[in-house]
Chain A
Amino acid sequence: MPNARGGPPSAARVLSALIIPLLAACGGDRGGGGEERPEKAAAEETPQRGGTAVTAELTDMVHPLPIVYQSEMDSDLVDVMYMGLIRPVWREGRLVYLTSNDSPMALAWHWEYAGADSSALRFRMKSGLRWSDGRPITAQDVAWTYRAIKDPRTASPRAQDLAQLDSVVTENDSVVVFHFRRRNPEMLFTTSIAIAPRHVYEGTPLERLGTHPGFSRPDSLVVSGPFRIGSRRPGEQITLVPNAAFSVPPLLDRIVIRIIPEPTTRLAELRTGNVDMVKAIGFDQVADLRQRAPNLRFASIEKRYWEYVAYNPRPGSAFADPRVRRALGQALDVEGMIKGLHMEPFTTRAAGPYAPIFRDLYDPARMRPLPHDPEGARRMLEAAGWRDADGDGVREKDGKPLRFTLVTNTGNQRRADVAQVMQQQWKAVGADMRFQQLEFNTFQQRQATRDFEALLGSWGVNLSPDITPLFAPEAPFNIISFTDSAAVRLMREAKEEETAEAANPLWRAAAERIVREQPYTWLYYYDIVVGLGERLRGVRVDTFGAYQNSWEWWIPASRRREGAAEVADTAPDTAKEEG
């Protein structure tokens, strides 16, 4: 299910597009050369306690609470600071839900279907769990969290995920039962939301949860995960320190999250070793960085995003005819764009709404990317009645030229580059595209009100197969006014199914129908690239993000920074060893 777009605009991004190539020209990094002694190398592969990891993020935190968070920074902090009943992980193309037997981030050791029609889920929580303030984590915390999310007054961005949830009932302090309106494949997904401490927030009116005074004093936030906020300098840095109540003591003494909005500066800090992890590195930077800074490693938050051209098929528009949309898709050499704009290996050619990471939904046999076939595109446009009668290079039909404006948001150099390539390739088949970049809020408003002819954007997809928010006729984000009745029927039937096994074939069939109509030209699925410095070890980056296993991060003692911070970090360790 989609949940995000290509990110807000930033003057910094525009600047970085001009400047980043200069980073590569700044010479190679020192270090990395020479042979290491075997015992030193072995010591560097064994997890050790102590040290400070430094990560760089684009924006500061707002309100990292499972009930109200929305920004990416808050989402990462929630991953680090709060546990859920079960821990969702992505394994071999499928969502898997771990209990506390397999993950320290899960509160429940057991779950089972309940009720005569298996429309309820019963969770048994591990005993002895405590919040960072020492209070026990109970089933009442779970029930309150879900009630708060569901309550309309809260205006929680998670509320829609609980559409099928009827009630949450506690049987005792450690057993909680989720009653759904009917059995559905999303039940476990629904129950995997992180839990907030009821005793802290219960007294706050729900409509004011987002402005709880605790967010002004984040070192007082009560958490259940491996780290809590030790200190914060707004706009500059957030220091995470271990939560003593977490079942597995984190290996690191601190994680310092520094707020650095400018991508060039973030990369410079990564290369100088002042920062150990940076997210959202430009695809075109990676090859250069690999060459210039061989000590850096790169990982991907995998292909949950697809970039598209959306067409508005309003009456009288050329895009009302699916042949025109298909022809424009065929005119594009997307593989060439991926190679030419150095987006490999973090992008792959897209064919439809399900990315390849969805093993049960991505069907390359039935959803193939459109071939790059300019000649076929010309023939298709001819067949649709679009001919260049006056020889000016632009096709016409009924006296109207095949001319349209493609809008996108400012601050995204990738989209600007792709739009320029598309403009040339469409021109070659007789379509005249004008390109317009809009300030993000204006772009978003034009998108929401369907006030565009063609639009270049991207969707970030959630891990649910439900694509109705983008394609159901009544959905506000059906920006392409999709109405194909067969696809709509298939999606409705899929939503009625009780199990994923029964629903998935219907979702696949619906996707196939959608792709046949080509309401979008799917360009490519893309990753978020994470750069890791040589010091930081044990980081697992997956489709859920980069902070998934923060308690397992570690830094070899020999690689810790010189200076007061690291001296302070190592001191407790030494004391422990001596003790």
Chain B
Amino acid sequence: MIGYLAKRILGAIPLLLGILTIIFFIIHLAPGDPTARFVSPNVSPQVIEQMRRNLGLDQPLHIQYVKWLWSFIRGDFGYSFGQMRPINEILPEVLWNTVQLTFVSLVVIFAVGMLIGIVQAVRQYSIADNVLTFVALFFYSMPSFWFALMLILIFSLKANQSGWFFQFPASGMTDVGYEFMGTGEKIMDRIRHLVLPATALGIGSAAGVARYMRGSMLEVIHQDFIRTARAKGLSERTVVFKHALRNALIPIITLLGLYLPFLLSGAVLVETIFGWPGMGRAIVDAILQRDYPMVMATSFVIAAIVVMGNLLSDVLYAVVDPRIRTE
């Protein structure tokens, strides 16, 4: 297994370099550059030229590429032109913020999605199945930004105006008085701030997982070995959770690998709406500001997560399916 993993990781290196090289040249082909935000009638063109020199943008593109590559190989992502801070300082901050949100969202996605899917499969064509199918499709087809704003309007604004017991903050990761709170209050404050963004990010995907889970379970549940298990007199709980679920999990694990990069890059709108300072916002800001080093760094992270996500899926296949492990 270790040899297999090492082979896969080594194989990913040229792939990542290729992706980053393409991104480097594409982003430099886009109109504008990092000095564009300084351009105004009040700033002379000479000043803008000097800014370009100070940022090294006056050099030929291939020289800029070689310099970037050399820094990158040494683990130095350079300075963000948009934030004027070392990217090695920015990346851990935004990654950690996004990981907190993504982790909770993943829990929402898979816990809620799988549970609904199992119920639907076990009670196929029942009222519960039909209602859950409708609800799942409703949330699946709802755009995440719209859902996010509805959550804010209802559970933050309306809840505040109506004095509801459950009120959730509309933005930020913590309250303004966070540093004055005790440990317990801090944990509760973090959770309160996570509820709306994690729900907005996860609920649509949970509905998707529910559909996959239902289909997968239905396929398994009608197979001979399930009938045999029931004939042996096993309880329905054991049949469903021990025999059927484990076999139905393989396509769901594929989804896990696919959702990981999606959640990191697809959190752009949710992070913007909830003022969550994560990777999604960092990527969009970097692209809009033509913050080349930041675009490269975030692209690397996303590309690496895609590769790792796929690798993780493959490893998890082996964990749940002994046949794959043997192969």
Residues on A facing B (Cβ under 8 Å): 1-5, 8-12, 15, 19, 22-23, 26-30, 52, 54, 60, 62-63, 70-71, 152-157, 159-161, 207-208, 210-211, 215-216, 231, 233-237, 239, 256, 258-262, 264-266, 268-269, 271-274, 439-442, 444-445, 448, 459, 462, 469-470, 475-477, 561, 563-568
How far does the alpha carbon of A271 sit from the alpha carbon of B44 in the complex, in Å? 42
Given contacts A9-B288, A444-B32, A566-B177, contact A216 B85 (CB under 8 A): yes
Interface residues on B, range: 35 or more
B177→A155 contact, CB < 8 A:
no
Q: Report the bound CA distance from A440 to B290 in whole Å.
A: 11
Q: Known contacts A23-B157, A260-B275; decide if A4 and B40 are in contact (CB<8 Å).
A: yes
In the complex, 15 of the A-B residue pairs with CB atoms within 8 angstroms, ordered by the A residue number, are A1-B41, A1-B42, A9-B288, A11-B272, A15-B145, A30-B163, A157-B42, A231-B179, A261-B281, A272-B156, A272-B161, A440-B288, A442-B31, A469-B42, A563-B175
How many angstroms from the CA of A554 to the CA of B319 in the assembled complex? Answer: 61
Q: Say which residue of A235, A236, A441 sits within 8 Å of B32 (CB atoms).
A: A441
- The answer to whether B161 and A234 touch across the interface, beta carbons within 8 angstroms, is no
Residues of B within 8 A of A (CB): 30-32, 36-48, 50-51, 53-54, 79, 82-86, 89-90, 93-94, 97, 145-146, 149, 152-153, 156-158, 160-163, 169-177, 179-182, 185, 268-269, 272-275, 277, 281-282, 284, 288, 290
Question: A147 to nearest B CB, angstroms?
Answer: 16
Contact A26 B161 (CB under 8 A): yes
For the complex of A and B, 7 pairs with smallest distance between CB atoms? A565-B177, A235-B277, A441-B32, A469-B41, A155-B50, A477-B41, A564-B180
- Chain A contact residues, majority secondary structure: mixed
Contact of B38 among A1, A157, A233, A273 (CB under 8 A): A157
| Separation of A272 and B161 alpha carbons in the complex (Å) | 7
Q: With A3-B42, A237-B172, A260-B171 as given contacts, are A15 and B180 in contact (CB-CB < 8 Å)? A: no
Whole-angstrom CA separation of A299 from B279 in the bound complex: 35
| Cβ–Cβ < 8 Å partners of A273 in chain B | 160
CB pair A5–B40 under 8 Å, yes or no, is yes
B176 touches A54 (CB 8 A): yes
Report yes or no: B41 in contact with A274, Cβ–Cβ below 8 A: no
Complex alpha-carbon distance, A200 and B79, angstroms: 21
Residue of A at shortest CB range from B186? A564
Q: B84 touching A63 by the CB < 8 A rule?
A: yes
Contacts of B163 in A (CB 8 A): 30
Residues of B within 8 Å of A444, CB to CB, are: 31-32, 36, 39
**Is B275 within 8 A of A210, CB to CB?**
no
**Chain A: minimal CB distance from B157 (Å):** 5
Known interface pairs A9-B288, A26-B153; A259-B42 also in contact (CB < 8 Å): no
Q: How far, in angstroms, from A120 to B297 measured CA to CA in the complex?
A: 50
Decide: A155 near B176, CB < 8 A? Known: A22-B153, A235-B94: no
Q: Is the CB of B275 within 8 A of A442?
A: no
Per the bound structure, the CA–CA distance linking A112 and B153 in Å amounts to 57
Tally inter-chain residue pairs, CB-CB below 8 A: 207
Question: Bound state CA distance, A224 and B157, in angstroms?
Answer: 39
A-side contacts of B84, CB under 8 Å? 62-63, 210-211, 215
Q: A12-B273, A231-B179, A272-B156 are in contact. Are A441 and B39 (CB under 8 A)?
A: no
Residue in contact with B153 in the complex, picked from A5, A23, A54, CB distance below 8 Å: A23
Q: Which of A10, A160, A258, A568 is within 8 Å of B47, CB to CB?
A: A160
Q: Give the CA-CA distance A126 to B284 in the complex, in Å.
A: 47
Q: Report the minimal beta-carbon distance from A239 to chain B, rounded to whole angstroms.
A: 8
Q: Are B180 and A265 in contact (CB under 8 A)?
A: no
> When the two chains form their complex, are residues A441 and B180 in contact, meaning their CB atoms are under 8 A apart?
no
Q: Is the CB of B181 within 8 A of A564?
A: yes
- How near does chain B come to A489, taking the closest CB pair, in angstroms? 20
A215 to B90 CA separation, bound complex (whole angstroms): 12
Q: Given that A2-B42, A470-B41 are contacting pairs, would A234 and B90 also be in contact in the complex, using a CB cutoff of 8 Å?
A: yes
CA distance A70 to B48 in the complex (A): 12
How many whole Å from B262's CB to the nearest CB in chain A?
18
Contact of A152 with B50 in the complex, beta carbons under 8 Å: yes
Contact A565–B176 (Cβ < 8 Å): yes
Alpha-carbon separation in the docked complex, A2 to B284 (Å): 28
Residues of A within 8 A of B182 (CB): 564
Q: In whole Å, how far is B309's beta carbon from the nearest beta carbon of chain A?
A: 25
A441 in contact with B31 given A261-B275, A477-B41 (CB within 8 Å): yes
Contact B54–A155 (Cβ < 8 Å): yes
B161 touches A157 (CB 8 A): no
- Contact assessment for B149 and A264 in the assembled complex, using a CB-CB cutoff below 8 Å: yes
Residues of A within 8 A of B36 (CB): 441, 444-445
A234 with B180, Cβ < 8 A, contacts A22-B149, A264-B152, A268-B156 known:
no
Cβ contact within 8 Å between B37 and A448? no
Q: Which of A27, A154, A566 contacts B158 (CB 8 A)?
A: A27
CB of B228 to closest CB in A, whole Å: 54
- 14 further A-B pairs in the complex, CB-CB below 8 A; given A271-B157, A477-B40: A3-B40, A26-B157, A62-B83, A71-B37, A157-B43, A235-B94, A235-B281, A264-B273, A272-B156, A273-B160, A476-B41, A561-B177, A564-B177, A567-B180
